[in-house]
Amino acid sequence: MLIKRTQQRSQIASRGSIAAGMSGQTNDLDRRTFLRRSGLAGGALAALGTLPLAGVRKAKAAAAGPLTSGATVRKSICTHCAVGCTVTAEVLNGVWIGQEPSWESPINRGSHCAKGASVRELVHSERRLRYPMKLVGGQWTRVSWDTAINEIGDKLLEIRQKSGPDSVYWLGSAKMTNEGSYLFRKLGAFWGTNNTDHQARICHSTTVTGVANTWGYGAMTNSFNDIRNAKTQIIMGGNPAEAHPVSLQHLLEGKELQKANFVVIDPRLTRTAAHATEYVRMRPGTDIPVLYGMMWHILQNGWEDKEFIKQRVYGFDDLRKEVEKWNPEEVERVSGVPGEQLKRVAKMLATEKPATLIWAMGQTQKTVGTANVRASCIALLLTGNVGAPGTGANIFRGHDNVQGATDVGLDIVTLPFYYGLAEGAWKHWARVWEVDYEFLQSRFDSKQIMETPGIPLTRWFEAVTLPKDQVAQKDNVRAVFVQGHASNSITRIPESLKGLKALELLVIADPHPTTWASLAVEAGRRDGLYILPVSTQFECKGSRVASNRSLQWGEQIVKPVFESKDDLEVTYLMAKKFGFADKMFKNIKVENDLPEAEDILREMNRGSWSTGYCGQSPERLKAHMKNQAKFDFLSMRAPKDDPEVGGDYYGLPWPCWGKPEVRHPGTPLLYNTNLHVMDGGGTFRPRFGLEREEKLPDGTTRKVSLLADGSYSKGSAIQDGYPEFTLASLKKLGWDTDLTAEEMATINRVNPANPDAVSWSLDLSGGIQRVALMHGCVPYGNGKARMNAFGLPDPIPVHREPIYTPRVDLVSKYPTLPDAKQFRMPNIGFSVQKAAVEKGIAKQFPLVLSSGRLVEYEGGGEETRTNPWLAELQQDMFIEINPGDAADRGIKDGGWVWVTGAESNSKARMKALVTERVGKGVAWMPFHFGGWYAGRDLRDNYPKGTDPIVLGESANTITTYGYDPATGMQEPKVTLCQIAAA
Amino acid sequence: MARMKFLCDADRCIECNACVTACKNEHEVPWGINRRRVVTINDGKPGERSVSMACMHCTDAPCAAVCPVNCIYTTADGVVLHSKDLCIGCGYCFYACPFGAPQYPKVGNFGSRGKMDKCTFCAGGPEADGSKEEYEKYGANRLAEGKLPLCAEMCSTKSLLAGDGEIIAQIYKERVMKRGYGSGAWGWKTAYRETIES
Amino acid sequence: MASFARFIRLTLGALAFLLVISMAGPCGAQQINPTASSVKEQQLLQEFDRIQGRVSIPDQRSGILIQPAGREWREFRDLTLRWIGGITILGMLAVLIIFYLSRGMVRLESGRSGRTIVRFTSFERFVHWMTATCFIVLAISGLNITFGRPLLLPLIGHEAFSDWSQWAKYAHNFLSFPFTIGVVLIFLMWIAGNIPNKVDVDWIKRGGGLVGHDHPRAYRFNAGQKAIYWIVVIGGGLVAATGYALMFPFYLSGIEGMQLAQIVHSIVAMLFIAAMLAHIYIGTIGMEGAFEAMGSGTVDVNWAREHHALWLEEQNARTSARPQPSASAAE
């Protein structure tokens, strides 16, 4: 039989209208529906995104065919990237029988990519992990959940006893819902460690740090839909056509409608670059020279936005000094990009406005990642391209909830919502959680370690294997509990094998055993390894944050399959085992060990004032999903007169100020002064003091204000810069009388000793925010964005060659930062770079190696490589190599090659893809493969029946040392390798 | 009566393969059978374009003409369908097809080239619309439900258009007019003996 | 005849395809505006006979996007081939019928001697009949593919025709193996007697005796038989080779190769069938005493003298040199 699907579906089908002729039915589709479905919304036939939706709904109802008649339709969010596509599922008798286009979603308008169009398979996959297992003497053995939780818990408590709480590493996931990642972070806090991390560390940690240090919040400023307004789109260090395909709907339509410049700056002629109006090929690792090269032309020609800089930017003169060094000759010498081309692009950015800069991991995954994104922000500030439609730093994030997991603080440097780790932050969360601060402190080894950032996940194995005295905590890491993270997406796999062997306990909670399991067995582990089946996100409900900061509530499509459990339940079971479940779930309803997602979101609402997650109640989010069709496609706003979602922006993009009752509509564009704050307007956030002392050339000093100068959001009662709101400042303005007695009481409770010091972000009543909004002011204040981000390792971005660079001649002029101690660990990048130059590594390994995404797979790739519909499309790991380099080495397209890396005698066997996508001297690998190591197929290491269909060498077997000083980001985007025919 | 056609706007196609997996998902197409595929021309070079291709449901379809057992027919909507009950798996339709659309399970195994399978424009086969038999042999019949092929409905960039030929031609024409470029309605001349003037 | 011209063009075209098989398309110089320099379908089709690119699935043949050549192959299959087949097969039948009606069976002029001589061993006969049986089934099942749809389908209806065609396809595929083995054995067994020589020239000049009434002398195989031999060996070889190319798709070539293979296969098969009709005619009702050669394996000495005088002399010389008690040859 060629085709087979569940019996149920066919049965419904047969109940349907068989009478409908094969030919006649299409006439039922009215023209409008038809056009919408054909994706017309670009032409004159239908104005963009403004199709009357009533027509669509009517047509849909009329068209409801036999398949939909019996099935329930449930909506959730695609789990594969952060565009936030709605997935519409048809469910019958608990079985997910079909997917339909989600026409009503203002984000994806029915579309999906290869991954989104095949998510149904993830749930019913026969290769899912079905029950908990443990490795006993090298054999995979089935155990019950109770046994697993008890044994794991006992071991963890034993390690805690012996080595302290910091010896357990809690590795969470960007795939979890907000509620799941928030609970996981809370578990870390109650356990007593800041060693809680997730994928954002290896994708956009540098963005979050760099961008937040520039203007307040580390997130995409605008939205995918808003890119349609841009007259110039510059994509630098991203390949959204493969990594965020549905975003290209907005980018390409925007390009067509605006006749926009579509510039792609990338070492690779990607699928995105194929549609560019201007393609700039650069040497990997030279983002800062290229950006400065553009700024040089901008300053040279006076194209900068002087008014914008004067009103809203700090540190322009410091920038000018650095940019002056980057004349076209030097830029071309370093990056290979000709000056004339850069001048053209610079002119577009500065004069064909609005212009937006789009990036992803091409900029972030470097030792200079933070500086790269800072330089990008600076380019936008210089040209006044922030805070208006069509402008902005449009940072495309990579997992369905990586923005959310970052926001809820599943991170080593902060508690939820960027409160940091200082005493005040802990006290704030103690108040929200209604536990004693002293209790929390007692869970940690010391108050000092409680306020010290944890170890980045990029270096978990070094925390295991380094000498104890080099790891600045009580003891080495002895156990890793990983829930939803791949091991092959972390660089330096040969080194991580040592860590995998040395651990006392490794727990992998995931729908698939992941490469952790196969590599751990390969490393020689025979015991102390548990794998727990956790359900996919389609089997649980909760909110997810798309890249554009919109929150979307996903329904549970089907119940967890096999013996798998919801993330929330696993976290609860661990907390129960550790004995603090009562405290941790004090305000969260738990039924049959499953905490209620809605309650968790409500708790977050009560504590997330700093980031404006306070207005997105579960009720509002659910109303948005129900009323998706009402939101305008371009502005993403619902009509003001709608009873349920009137005036809201889709998904209440954060910050959504005040309590839900305030009905703040969300902020679709950050820092947009053209709108009233209650319509989503905003200003730059003064987060780094109110003024700064600067040294002048003559030795004297002067104080410079960091508040905005003459710029303010529409309708603001204060028509100039202003600091964040506190009770004291309300009093000064005489606005404290607007606070209700109840709000005043809560403020007094927050800080009984000094209520005046209670700020907008600590006030649990929301009163201070409400009053500020009432007067048209932004609660966090109105400051300047920083070109000079004092406090960062390089306050003004400085070009630094990658640790492993082919241009050894440039290392002396542009060396990496000196060795230092960061995140409890030594960062010896400088020594490694120096040694590489001295040993002549670049001669032995002359090719630059970069890595990136394929459209068919995601992340470590286990779940997507298990999906036959996707796996069939990419069956072999490969490396892209330029025809010239291939010819030099006798390598043929499709032939097997050995790739060798610059460290640990690493080697990997894969196929060659000979293509001009990469320039001469550059090679590129996809990073989703795993299950092979150094030429060996590890299929037998997986528990039987759980091995993905497609296995292959991991790119990170070859990648090397290199960590961003500000975030611990790894450097998989630029290293060195050699390739030889196998 | 509508005349159903496919049109892939290569200036929008990004080879995301959503059309491919949507097809697999909707019809549970097994491994090795590719009713739809995306081909990239001039890969890695400036001017690179990707085109999603499946059965184009040709006017005067060559597959139907050469079929020794006459099992391929055109519906009133202009959709080219076939009967797996009648097909003998000879491979002739594959020789005649300009688009490489016909697929055979276990191609290459001696003597067992199975029944031909191809894109049905989500219109099933000769069995009763929406019947179990139809589903098992040909997949879902969306057309009978008033829906269009899922590949086009789910296309990430609205590059792949499916529907009444006149309407999609008009959409494409307007797109080209608006943006000022277009690499052509790929396959139209061969399949329908017409082009879209732009 | 237009269709025939197309067929020639297609054949040449197919060969040309093989030459450009690995070419993916025109490569422009490095340009900075990918949108402006995008490939255009019309331009590609004008430059190449097909459009080809890269696909990620292992099935690389799916990288051929558009290949309009199928149109011409269709023309060949639906029109040209039917004409070729019709003319050759019906033409041959007509010729044979006319010949039979006008000349009747070629009789043994001297009557039967009553003495026989071994002409074909049992192994030779086995090989002949195995090949012949396969050939008949292959011919009928093959003709069904070309002529079944217009001729047989309307008579027996869709389902019966499909069932029959399915079995015919299986038979065609499976019997190809014994047939091919047979052709190889025939080639080896009888190559010695089938090298053309001077005697054949004389034989041909005299029309094999059909013109006039004398019998041109011949060794074991006369020129006519040699022609059949070579038709079987070469034709059989060709249909076998092209047939396997079709049966194992993509092992040897792509679509254009298979189209070409089908063209060669079908034309050779039609000519082959026509030739075999003549062979069957002459071996049965066309000539007295001929069937016995493949029937019992022995022929009357008089038949041998009239049709293969030189061979008979050879045989006699051999037996007299090495006396054989069982020899039935007369002298």
How many CB atoms are closer than 10 A to CB C69?
22
Q: How many CB atoms lie within 10 A of CB A442?
A: 10
CB contact residues (below 8 A), chain B span 57-96, against chain A: 75-77, 79, 84
Give, in order, the Cα–Cα distances in Å from A786 to each of A564, A723, A780, A818, C160.
Answer: 47, 15, 16, 25, 82
Strands A479-483 and A847-852: unpaired
Tell me which residue has tokens 């015919």: C168
Burial class (CB in 10 A: 0-12, 13-18, 19+), A262: buried
- Block means of pLDDT (10 residues each) for chain A, 982 residues, are 31 31 35 45 32 30 47 94 95 92 93 96 93 96 97 97 97 96 97 96 95 95 96 96 96 94 96 95 96 97 96 95 96 95 96 96 96 97 96 95 95 96 97 97 97 97 96 96 95 96 96 94 95 96 96 96 95 97 96 96 96 96 96 94 95 96 96 96 94 88 94 96 96 95 96 95 96 96 96 96 96 96 96 96 97 95 95 96 97 97 96 96 96 96 95 97 96 97 93
What Å distances lie between residue A499 and A146, A188, A460, CA to CA?
28, 21, 8
- Percent of chain C at pLDDT exceeding 90: 40
Contact B29, B139 (CB under 8 A): yes
Q: Cβ of B50 and A271 within 8 Å?
A: yes
Pairing of strands A896-901, A907-914: antiparallel
Nearest to A550 by CA among A613, A610, A600: A613
Spatial contact of A511 and A570, defined as CB atoms under 8 Å apart: no
Question: Cis omega before residue A653 (within 30°)?
Answer: no
Q: Which residues contact A736 (CB under 8 A, 6 or more apart)?
A: A727, A730, A771
Using a CB-CB distance cutoff of 8 angstroms, which residues of chain C are in contact with residue A275? 34-35
| Per-residue model confidence as pLDDT tens digits over B110-157 | 445 688 999 999 999 999 888 888 999 999 999 998 899 999 999 999
CB contact under 8 A, A277 and C57: no
CA–CA distance, A565 with A579 (Å, rounded to integer): 20
Q: What are the backbone dihedrals phi and psi of residue A97, each rounded to the nearest 5 degrees, phi first?
A: -100, -15
User: Could you give the CA distance from residue B81 to residue B137 in angstroms, rounded to a whole number?
Assistant: 12
| pLDDT at C278 > cutoff 60 | yes
Residues 90-129 of B with CB under 8 A from C: 90-92, 94-100, 107-108, 110-111, 113
Decide if pLDDT at C37 tops 80.
no
Instruction: Report yes or no: A868 at the C interface, CB cutoff 8 Å.
Output: no
Contacts of C34 in chain A (CB under 8 A): 269, 273-277, 279
Does the residue B28 lie in any domain? yes
Residues of B in contact with C162 (CB under 8 A): 69, 71, 85-88
A1, A65, A869: residue with CB nearest B24: A869
C116-123+176-208+218-320 to CATH, choices 3.10.580.10, 2.60.120.1440, 3.30.9.10, 1.20.950.20: 1.20.950.20
**C299 CA: distance to closest CA in chain B (Å):** 41
CB-based contact A915:A883 (threshold 8 Å) = yes
Q: C-alpha C180: how far from its chain's center?
A: 11
Count CB-CB contacts under 10 A for residue C122.
Answer: 10
* Nearest-angstrom CA–CA distance, C263 and B12: 40
- Answer yes or no: is B197 within a domain: no
pLDDT score for C61: 82
Write the single-letter amino acid at A393: A
Residue A291 carries which side chain, given as an amino acid letter? L
Sequence ranges of the domains in chain C: 116-123+176-208+218-320
Chain A partners (3+ C-beta pairs within 8 A): B, C
What does the DSSP 8-state code read for residue A792? B
CA-based nearest residue in chain C for residue A275: C35
Whether B195 has a pLDDT exceeding 90, the answer reads no
Indicate yes or no: CB of B175 within 8 angstroms of CB of A256. yes
Q: How far is C325 from chain B (nearest CA, A)?
A: 52
Q: Write out the E strands in A815-942.
A: 820-822, 825-827, 847-852, 878-881, 896-901, 907-914, 922-926, 931-933, 936-937
Decide the pairing of beta strands A168-171 and A479-483.
Answer: parallel
Distance from CA of A978 to the nearest CA of C (A): 24
Closest CA to B158 of B5, B8, B4, B1: B8
| Closest CB to C71 among B62, B90, B94 | B62
The helices-and-strands tally (H runs, E runs) of chain C is 15, 4
pTM of the model: 0.89
Pairs from C301-304 (Cβ < 8 Å, separation ≥ 24): C301/C113, C301/C115, C301/C116, C301/C117, C301/C329, C301/C330, C302/C108, C302/C110, C302/C111, C302/C112, C302/C113, C303/C108, C303/C112, C304/C117, C304/C119
**Residues contacting A882, CB < 8 A, separation 6+:** A914, A915, A916, A918, A919, A920, A921, A922, A923
- Report in angstroms the alpha-carbon separations of A469 from A463, A504, A594, A962: 11, 19, 41, 21
What residues in A contact C61, CB-CB < 8 Å?
Answer: none
Give dist(CA A183, CA A509) in Å, integer.
15
Rounded Cα gap, residues B155 and B168, in angstroms: 14
Residue with tokens 């079995």: C167
C174 reaches B (C-beta below 8 A): yes
Contacts of A278 in chain C (CB under 8 A): 32-33
pLDDT number for residue A571: 97
Closest Cα in chain A to C31: A279
| Residues A967 and A823: beta-carbon distance below 8 Å | no
State both tokens at A380. 């936008």
Q: Residue A101: helix, strand or coil by DSSP?
A: coil
With 0-12 / 13-18 / 19 or more C-beta atoms within 10 angstroms meaning exposed / middle / buried, residue C248 is middle
Chain A neighbors of B198, CB-CB under 8 A: none
* Residue C148 amino acid letter: G
Instruction: Name all chains with 3 or more CB-CB pairs below 8 Å to chain B.
Output: A, C
Neighbours of chain C (3+ CB pairs under 8 A): A, B
Is there a contact between C37 and B47 if contact means CB atoms under 8 Å apart? yes
* Beta bridge partner(s), residue A980: A898
Q: Give backbone dihedrals phi and psi of A787, rounded to 5 degrees, phi first.
A: -75, -35
Q: Do A101 and B131 touch (CB under 8 A)?
A: no
How far C311 CA sits from the closest chain B CA (Å)?
A: 44
Cβ–Cβ gap C39/B96 under 8 Å? no
Task: Tell whether C169 lies on the interface with B, counting CB pairs under 8 A.
Answer: yes
Contact A505, A152 (CB under 8 A): yes
Looking at the DSSP assignment, which residues form a beta bridge with residue A96?
A: A91
Tell me whether strands A975-981 and A896-901 are parallel, antiparallel or unpaired: antiparallel
Chain centroid to CA A840: 36
The answer to the question of residue B183 being in a domain is: yes
Mean pLDDT over the full length of chain C: 82
C69 touching chain B per CB within 8 A: yes
Q: Do C28 and B94 touch (CB under 8 A)?
A: no
**CB-based burial, A144-164: b 16+ in 10 Å, e otherwise:** ebeebbebbbebbeebbeebb
Find the closest chain B residue to C33 by CA distance: B46
Q: Give the model's pLDDT for residue C321.
A: 61
Nearest CA to CA, how far is C179 from chain A (Å)? 33
Residues of A in contact with C59 (CB under 8 A): none
CA A170 to CA A185: how far, in whole Å?
9
- Distance, in Å, from the CA atom of A20 to the CA atom of A18, rounded to the nearest integer, reads 5
Cβ-defined contact of A1 to B136 (cutoff 8 Å): yes
B49 is a domain residue: yes
A269 and B48: CB-CB below 8 Å?
Answer: yes
In chain B, which among 24-63 make CB contacts under 8 A with chain C? 32, 34, 37-43, 45-51, 53, 62
Confidence at residue A357, expressed as pLDDT on a 0 to 100 scale: 97
Q: Does C73 touch chain B (CB under 8 A)?
A: yes
| Domain region containing B41 | 4-192
Higher pLDDT, C32 or C166: C166
| Residue at B125 is within a domain | yes
By CA distance, what is A345's nearest residue in C?
A: C32
A317 touches chain C (CB under 8 A): no
Q: Across residues B58-87, what is the average pLDDT?
A: 94
Higher pLDDT, B181 or A113: A113
How far away is chain A from the Cα of B61, in angstroms, using its nearest Cα? Answer: 18
Total number of domains in chain B = 1
ipTM of the complex: 0.95
The four Cα atoms A426, A431, A434, A435 give a dihedral, to 10 degrees, of 30
Residue B92 belongs to a domain: yes
Q: What is the CATH number of the domain that holds B184?
A: 3.30.70.20
| SS3 of residue C116 by DSSP | strand
Cβ-proximal residues to A99 (8 Å cutoff; 6+ apart), any chain: A87, A88, A89, A90, A117, A119, A120, B22, B25, B26
What is chain A's Cα-based Rg? 27
- Strand, helix or coil for residue A922: strand
SS (H, E, C) A117-164: HHCHHHHHCCCCCCCCEEEECCEEEECCHHHHHHHHHHHHHHHHHHHC
> Across the strands, what pairs with A919?
none
How far apart are the two ends of chain C, measured CA to CA in Å?
A: 60
Which residues, 6 or more positions from C318, have their beta carbon under 8 angstroms from its beta carbon?
A: none
Structure tokens at A919: 């320039």
Residue of A nearest to C36 (CA): A277
Assess C33–B contact: CB distance below 8 Å, yes or no: yes
Contacts of C243 in chain B (CB under 8 A): none
Q: Is B195 an interface residue toward C (CB < 8 Å)?
A: yes
CB-nearest to C55 from B39, B47, B48 is: B39
Q: Look at residue B198 and tell me if it is in a domain.
A: no
Q: Do A274 and C57 touch (CB under 8 A)?
A: no
How many Cβ pairs within 8 Å bridge chains A and C? 28
